[in-house]
Amino acid sequence: MTAPVTAESAASTAVTAESTWSTLRRGLAMSRELRRGLAGTVVLALFATAGRVAVPVAIQQGIDRGLRAPGGPDLGMVARIVVIAAGVLVVTMTCAYLMNVRLYTVSETALADIRTQTFRHVHDLSMLHQQGERRGSLVSRVTTDVDQISQFLQWGGVILLVSFGQLTVTTLVMAFYSWQLTLVVYAAFLPVVFVIRYFQRRLTAAYGTVRRHVGTMLAAVSETVVGAAVIRAYGVHLRTESRLDAAIEDNRAAQFTALRTSVMSFTAGEWASGLATAAVVVVGVLLGADGQLTVGQLTAFLFLVTLFVQPVQIATEMLNEAQNAIAGWRRVLDVLDLHPDVADPGPAGRDLPPGPIDVTFSHVYFAYPVADDPPAGRGPAGSAEAGRGPAVLSDIDLTIGAQSRVAVVGETGGGKTTFAKLLTRLMDPVGGTIALSGVPLTEVRFAALRHRVVMVPQDGFLFDASIADNVRFAQPDRSDDELYLAFAELGLADWIDGLVDGVRTQVGERGEALSVGERQLVALARAYVADPDLLVLDEATSAVDPATEVRLQHTLDAVTRGRTTVVIAHRLSTARSADEVIVVDRGRVVQRGRHDQLVGDPDSVYGRLYASWVAQTSTR
Amino acid sequence: MDGAVGKGLRVLGRSIREEPRMFIVAVGGSVVFSMLTIAGAFVVGTVVGRVVVPSIDRRQATVGALTVGVLVIIAVSAGKVVGLFGRRLGAGSMQFRMQASYRRQVTRRYLELPLAWHHRHATGTLLSNANADVEAAFFPIAPMPFAVGTVVMLVVAVGSLFGTDWVLALVGVAIFVALLGINVGYSRRISPRVSAAQRLRAEVSAVAHESFDGALVVKTMGRETEETARFAAKAGELRDAQIRVGRVRGLFDPALDALPSLGTLTVLLVGCWRLRQGVVTVADVVSVAFLFTVLAFPVRAIGWVLAELPRSAVGWDRVYRVLAATGDMVYGVATLPVVDTPATLRFDGVGYAYSGAQPVLRNVTFEVAAGRTVALVGPTGSGKSTIASLAARLVDPTAGTVALDGVELSDLAQESLVATVALVPQVPFVFDDTVRGNVTLDRPGVDDAAAWRALRAAQAESFVAALPHRLDTRVGERGTTLSGGQRQRLTLARALAGGPRLLILDDATSAVDPRVEAAILATLRSAGTSVLVVAYRRATIALADEVVYVEQGRVVARGTHEALLAGVAGYVNLVTAYERADAERADLDRLDAERAEAERADGVSA
């Protein structure tokens, strides 16, 4: 079997294709919330920064008209200037406060929406996409990646906004004092723009590397935690340690490389500031000697240069952070871009006709996508057989009558589970069609499909809640008593009674407080309570003891009466009681019929499977 | 609150002790940078006073003085660049090294701490301990050298102010004290809000983690909308917490920005007064005013450190909990001889209880004699997996002893234990590695030939041979590219590859087809290894020399399958379930047939 296409591989091609600006534009376009306040926030930012030039102007005025007033220092004049400037500062502070609060409110509201939207999208992705991604990396799409955007918007974004405002206002004031000196300052800073552009590109690559190493490190840590039992049982501490150490060290080294690049880029601003100050002094003195500039004006200009340098330096720093945020944003967009290849037809879709469901497979063909090939995940999945591995199911052509109970049997890897996944539309066939009660599966609304068709997978995942909460998953309005009744109907009342807290027993993370078999019982009860018309059990009782399984079988016989049931079975006990047995071998249906008919031919696939089963279960 | 700041400072102190060289580089760089920043202000002041004023007043540029001024300005910039490199790279290096060092220590503890400890802690928590918490704990290192440099700069600045004029100096002191005061008030107000947001961030992550883990159930039950609502509620709480942080930050940030500007204006006013008194020169006033402008930004660094300290303290606490966790599983020094002969396993009066819960095992006594196969049989939830874990010493009994060849497991050296016993767990765990890596685990003496032999014995040879890169095929995180049965056979091969003298199979063939299982069991049987097998299947039990039947954590009966079948009701009920079901069905079929026959007969007679 081959690896399914991962969103990560699809994303890597997108990264190169999409520029920073288009990511930003798309990010903004995605959220109306973010755009709404933007104009107002920018106006506030302008006011907030305009006030900053009050100080250099006050100094110029203070020196020329106060300190160096013809009749000696004029305290009254200076006092007037200072009071006006202080007034401007207060207005500035107020605007800055309003701008900050506005930015926080708007960005957090928008990002909470984006988080939720992305979360939903991940659930809407097909099972193959979900499993192709590292679980941790999907989680980070709705957590740290969004956090990075939020940190940037509120911390870096404010500063960036203020910095650009400050640059603009400072330039205007500088030009007012002396256009020649303004040109000098710009000439000193022009090279910086190119240097920064160069480093930005290197930084983007460096942060990409950091990101990748963080992912590897997290995977290594998670393996250490989840595989704790196996690591102990085999005493492979040293091997695990060296894998961990390598991942941790790679991460550290990558972080340092990124930092070094960032510092080099940052120092460009410092160089420019020194050059600009020196050039202003030279040109300013020459201009002053020529009578074109007063001492106060030149001094104010030197202050203005620092006002010019600060935002350039800070903006450089923030542009680095912006790279991080944009990378995060891009990863979020990449997930959102991932087209759910098993899509809900939505309101345009059809409902299933009421009553029991029958199933038709026509020439169904399926093969898993191959990772190395062009990312099939980005387009619709129907790109025929391109980028697919060997056939897992081919030419499956069958009908399952309404209300019949069918067992699908066959060897491991023969395609049984794939059959179940296609039947419940966790995946779509590569060729052929599947219809439920005459309605093509792809046209059925998910709301209807998931309500009427329920599958119990082999690994019945439980949420960290009580047994009752897990069982009422699909029917949240059921009371604990009703749920107890459901267990009783399944013949499991004695098991529940044996638990200290009954149905309120907490199952722990992933249900790990229960044994594997007990988890399967809960998962089965969950499906039973969901009350579907088509029930698909994928080896749902594989870890349950035989007595319990037989008991469950009896009750399942009763509860599945009136519904269509497809059981993927590896214990042939199930097959014997089925209305029909479908034998799958190497991706094809090789036999169909009742157990007693099939077993009549001892040389058939089923005959051999059954003989082996009998040999294992007979008393001697 | 002050406790949190104090604790955060202690974490910083620890970092300084552990990375003194990088700390010196960073602080050195920072001090150079800061001093040159101050020097820069005085250089500008001096250049204005000595070069600009005379040149403009005399309407003639003095080339010599101008050249010196320009060179000094550029030299200051060059010095600042050097300082910057030292400060940023030193701090970064220190921060990343501390993070890496503690990540190593935390993950070492994960490997050392017993499984019982792991059972008590959620996976998500352990992941964030090694990642986010370590990061938070050492985050203040980044701005710290800047802050230290700023403090030095403030002291020097105040000193130089007193050198200029004591009145202007008092203005400076007042402004700096106000700045520090606001910074402290700021961090006090903001840190509980930041902690709350941090907690919610972890909760949002936990919801996402669980929901994506159970994605298949969510999908098959069509609960996407409800899950999204659950997530949206948490995301909304986080949003509100973040906005509360923003309100405080939004107020204090502009205030901290404006204060140095107000200082500059005050200097202008007071400077004018002092100038009239003839105590200071224009250059002095300009220098002091310039000083405030350049100080405005660095002073914020102190605030950054203070604001990060409480978060650092919380992160450190969580990291420390792991480092200080006790109850390590201590291994002994005893070794068992390295031989090919099978081992003997003995349980004697063994009891086990998960922490604080009812015992799951009571007084369990049985033996797996050398070369024998013992089947452990019992209903779902009767304690079989716990017995398997005890036999491989994944956990230690709370009562009684488990011994291998007469040596108590807790006395055995780890190497000897893992070389003797192999456990195949019920849920197969596959490393994100190649097939080879998963089977050999880089154990000494397990080469490719051994791997293939083990794969063959585990009936995994054919599917591995069909993989695109055979042994070199990567199986993906948790082996997601393999089917359940394939994963199980791979883990079985892993156990066999080490040539164990005792093999424990915890229902480890449940996802394998009957015929495949039969073949695997036959191979095991012929290998002559002692086997303890948790089993339901008749064939497995039939291969066993003895059966240990457990119910609710107690051994109810021991003996051959036949003996148990003759005398133990629960056992009979369990293992003959399928046959009885068949018999019932046969009876029903017979009754149906008889009824049909009778009806036909009736019809004939009528």
**Chain B touched by A343 (CB under 8 Å):** no
Contact across the interface for A221 and B130, Cβ inside 8 Å: yes
- Contact present, A549 and A524 (Cβ < 8 Å): no
Residue A321 vs residue A421, higher pLDDT: A421
Q: Which of B89, B385, B515 sits opposite A263 (nearest CB)?
A: B89
**Chain A touched by B469 (CB under 8 Å):** no
Distance CA A588, CA A126 (A): 24
pLDDT tens digit string along A166-181? 788 888 888 888 888 8
State percent of chain A over pLDDT 70: 86
Question: Would you say residue A256 has pLDDT above 90?
Answer: yes
**DSSP one-letter code for A541:** T
Spatial strand order of the sheet with A439-440 comes to A388-400, A359-369, A431-436, A439-440
Distance CA B374, CA B316 (A): 48
Kindly give, in sequence order, each residue whose CB lies less than 8 Å from that of residue B490, ignoring residues fewer than 6 positions away.
Answer: B428, B430, B435, B438, B439, B455, B458, B460, B464, B475, B479, B482
Distance of CA A77 to the CA centre of its chain: 61
**Chain B touched by A397 (CB under 8 Å):** no
Residue A375 vs residue A296, higher pLDDT: A296
Cα–Cα–Cα angle for A206, A207, A208, rounded to 5 degrees: 90
Q: Which one, of B246, B267, B257, lies nearest residue B157 by Cα?
A: B267
**Chain B touched by A435 (CB under 8 Å):** no
Phi-psi region of B531 (alpha: psi -120 to 50; beta: other; left: phi over 0): beta
Termini Cα distance of chain A:
38
Between positions 151 and 170 of A, the ones with CB within 8 A of B are 154, 158
Give the number of beta-carbon pairs within 8 Å between A and B.
Answer: 517
Distance CA A555, CA B264 (A): 85
**Chain A touched by B116 (CB under 8 Å):** no
- Contact present, B248 and B193 (Cβ < 8 Å): yes
**Residue A253: predicted pLDDT:** 93
Q: pLDDT-derived band of residue A376, with 50, 70 and 90 as boundaries?
A: very low
Q: pLDDT-derived band of residue A10, with 50, 70 and 90 as boundaries?
A: very low
**Chain B touched by A266 (CB under 8 Å):** yes
pLDDT tens digit string along A387-417? 677 788 888 888 888 888 888 888 776 788 8
**Chain B touched by A232 (CB under 8 Å):** yes
- Contact present, A620 and B579 (Cβ < 8 Å): no
- The dihedral through the CA atoms of B337, B338, B342, B347 has a sign that is positive
Contact across the interface for A233 and B585, Cβ inside 8 Å: no
Interface mutation target, options B68, B107, B592, chain A, most CBs of A under 10 Å: B107
DSSP-assigned states of every residue in B187-246: HHHHHHHHHHHHHHHHHHHHHHHHHHHTHHHHHHTT-HHHHHHHHHHHHHHHHHHHHHHH
Question: Would you say residue A377 has pLDDT above 70?
Answer: no
Q: Is the ipTM of this complex over 0.85?
A: no
Distance from CA of A265 to the nearest CA of B (A): 11
Contact across the interface for A127 and B219, Cβ inside 8 Å: yes
Q: Give the C-alpha distances (Å, rounded to integers) separating B265 from A54, A171, B161, B178, B290.
A: 10, 22, 16, 15, 11
**Chain A touched by B204 (CB under 8 Å):** yes
CA dihedral B582, B588, B593, B594 (to 10 degrees): 130
Termini Cα distance of chain B:
99
In the structure encoding, which two tokens stand for residue B69, read together?
A: 């001024």
CB burial readout A35-66, b (16+ within 10 A) else e: eebeeebeebbbbbbbbbbbbbbbbbbbbbbb
- Contact present, B78 and B39 (Cβ < 8 Å): no
Q: Looking at chain A, which residue has its C-alpha nearest residue B377?
A: A545
In the structure encoding, which two tokens stand for residue A133, read together?
A: 């991604």
**Residue A558: predicted pLDDT:** 65
Between positions 571 and 600 of B, the ones with CB within 8 A of A are 573-582, 585
Q: Which of A90, A256, A572 sits opposite B96 (nearest CB)?
A: A256
**Chain B touched by A488 (CB under 8 Å):** no
**Chain B touched by A615 (CB under 8 Å):** yes
Strand stretches in B542-590, DSSP E: 546-551, 554-559
Distance of CA B197 to the CA centre of its chain: 20
Strand stretches in A269-354, DSSP E: none
Q: How many CB atoms lie within 10 A of CB B556?
A: 17
Residue A141 vs residue A544, higher pLDDT: A141
> What kind and span of H or E run contains A581?
strand A580-585
Distance CA B40, CA A91 (A): 30
Phi-psi region of B555 (alpha: psi -120 to 50; beta: other; left: phi over 0): beta
- Contact present, A377 and A338 (Cβ < 8 Å): yes
Distance from CA of B605 to the nearest CA of A (A): 31
Contact across the interface for B577 and A225, Cβ inside 8 Å: no
Kindly give, in sequence order, each residue whose CB lies less than 8 Å from that of residue A594, ignoring residues fewer than 6 positions away.
Answer: A578, A579, A580, A581
Q: Looking at chain B, which residue has its C-alpha nearest residue A291?
A: B59
Between positions 134 and 193 of B, the ones with CB within 8 A of A are none
Q: Looking at chain B, which residue has its C-alpha nearest residue A134?
A: B477
Q: Looking at chain B, which residue has its C-alpha nearest residue A515?
A: B381
Chain A CB contacts of B77 under 8 Å are 270-271, 273-275, 277
**Residue B180: predicted pLDDT:** 80
Low-confidence ranges of chain B (pLDDT < 70): 1-4, 296-297, 355-357, 476-481, 510-518, 525, 539, 579, 581-582, 584-586, 588-589, 600-606
**Chain A touched by B255 (CB under 8 Å):** yes
pLDDT tens digit string along A537-591? 887 776 677 777 776 777 677 667 778 888 887 777 777 778 888 888 888 888 8
